[in-house]
C-alpha cells in the first residue's frame, strides 16, 4: 500500500472515526512500516453520553491510536456538530499536509449517500471529506495557495493518493481479517462511545465489504490517484 517509512495522514471529524472507518487498514499500514498520523478536526463534545467530555474523548483517541501503532495525534478542537468545508478548515488541513508530507491521505466520503445508514453521512464527516480533498488539491500543492504557510516554512507538497470509504463504486479493498482483533481493541478504548465493546454492525459491514474480493472481512475504499 505504501513503502516502509512513507507517511500516511488520516483526517477525520471526530475522535473514534479513524478506528470505526479505517482501523484494520491503519493496523496493516503501521505493520508494513508506514508512519501514520491523525488530524482530528472537532472536539467530540457532542458524543454520547453527556459525560463524554472533550478531555475524555481525546484521551480515548490517543489510547486507540496507540493500539494501532499511530505515530502522532493532533486535534484542531473545532466545535463538534458545526464543521463546514470553509477556507479556514482547508487551510488547517493544508498546513498539516505540508507539515507531514504524506504519500497517502485517508478521510471521509465528501458527500451524502442515501442508500446506506444515515450515520455514515454525518454533516461533519461530509464537511471534513470535502475540505480535505480541497486541501489535497489544489491547496497543498499550489505555491500560490496559503502563501503565509510557505513563509512559515511549509512549502507545497503533492499527495500521491486519497482513500475515502467505498460507499459507492469501491475500487480498492484491504483484507481486514488479520487485523480484526487490533481493530476491536482500538475501538474498546473509546469506552464513552462503545461501552467497552465494538458494536456488532462494525463487523457485519466489514463482512459485506469482504464478499466481493473473497475476504472474511474487508475495509473498502474509493481510491483517488492524484495526477
pLDDT for the residue numbered 104 = 98
DSSP state of 208: H
Spatial distance between the Cα atoms of 177 and 195, rounded to a whole number of angstroms: 23
User: pLDDT digit string (tens) for 169-222?
Assistant: 999 999 999 999 999 999 999 999 999 999 999 999 999 999 999 999 999 999
Q: Is 140 helix (H, G, I), strand (E, B) or coil?
A: coil
Rounded percentage of the chain residues whose pLDDT exceeds 70: 98
The whole-number average pLDDT for the span 52-77 is 95
Lowest-confidence segment of 2-16, 42-56, 181-195, 202-216 by average pLDDT: 42-56
User: pLDDT digit string (tens) for 69-108?
Assistant: 999 999 999 999 999 999 999 999 999 999 999 999 999 9
The whole-number average pLDDT for the span 14-43 is 97
pLDDT for the residue numbered 48 = 67
Q: How confident is the model at residue 49 (pLDDT cuts 50, 70, 90)?
A: low
What burial letters (b/e) apply to 187-212, b meaning 16+ CB within 10 Å?
Answer: bbbbebbbeeebeeebbebbeebbee
pLDDT for the residue numbered 47 = 79
Do 105 and 162 meet the contact criterion of CB atoms below 8 Å apart?
yes
What separation in angstroms does the CA of 107 have from each of 125, 146, 183? 9, 21, 17
Q: DSSP E strands: which ranges in 69-131? A: 72-78, 104-106
> Which domains, and CATH codes, for the chain?
7-225 (3.40.50.10320)
* Cβ partners under 8 Å of residue 33, min gap 6: 3, 4, 5
Spatial distance between the Cα atoms of 6 and 146, rounded to a whole number of angstroms: 25
Amino acid at each position: 500500500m505504501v513503502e516502509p517509512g512513507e507517511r500516511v495522514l488520516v483526517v477525520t471529524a471526530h475522535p473514534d472515526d479513524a478506528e470505526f472507518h479505517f482501523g484494520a487498514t491503519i493496523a496493516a499500514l503501521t505493520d508494513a512500516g508506514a508512519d501514520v498520523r491523525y488530524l482530528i478536526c472537532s472536539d467530540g463534545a457532542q458524543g454520547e453520553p453527556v459525560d463524554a467530555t472533550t478531555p475524555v474523548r481525546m484521551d480515548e483517541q490517543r489510547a486507540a491510536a496507540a493500539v494501532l501503532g499511530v505515530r502522532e495525534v493532533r486535534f484542531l478542537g473545532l466545535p463538534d456538530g458545526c464543521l463546514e468545508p470553509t477556507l479556514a478548515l482547508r487551510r488547517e488541513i493544508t498546513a498539516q499536509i505540508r507539515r507531514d508530507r504524506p504519500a497517502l491521505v485517508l478521510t471521509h466520503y465528501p458527500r451524502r449517500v442515501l442508500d446506506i445508514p444515515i450515520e455514515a453521512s454525518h454533516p461533519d464527516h461530509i464537511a471534513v471529506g470535502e475540505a480535505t480533498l480541497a486541501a489535497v488539491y489544489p491547496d497543498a500543492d499550489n505555491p500560490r495557495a496559503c502563501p503565509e504557510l510557505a513563509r512559515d516554512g511549509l512549502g507545497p507538497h503533492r499527495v500521491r493518493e486519497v482513500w475515502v470509504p467505498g460507499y459507492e463504486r469501491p475500487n480498492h479493498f484491504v483484507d481486514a481479517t488479520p487485523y480484526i482483533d487490533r481493530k476491536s481493541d482500538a475501538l474498546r478504548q473509546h469506552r464513552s462511545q462503545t461501552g467497552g465493546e465494538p458494536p456488532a454492525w462494525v463487523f457485519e459491514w466489514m463482512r459485506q465489504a469482504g464478499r466481493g474480493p473473497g475476504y472474511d472481512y474487508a475495509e473498502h475504499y474509493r481510491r483517488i490517484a492524484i495526477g
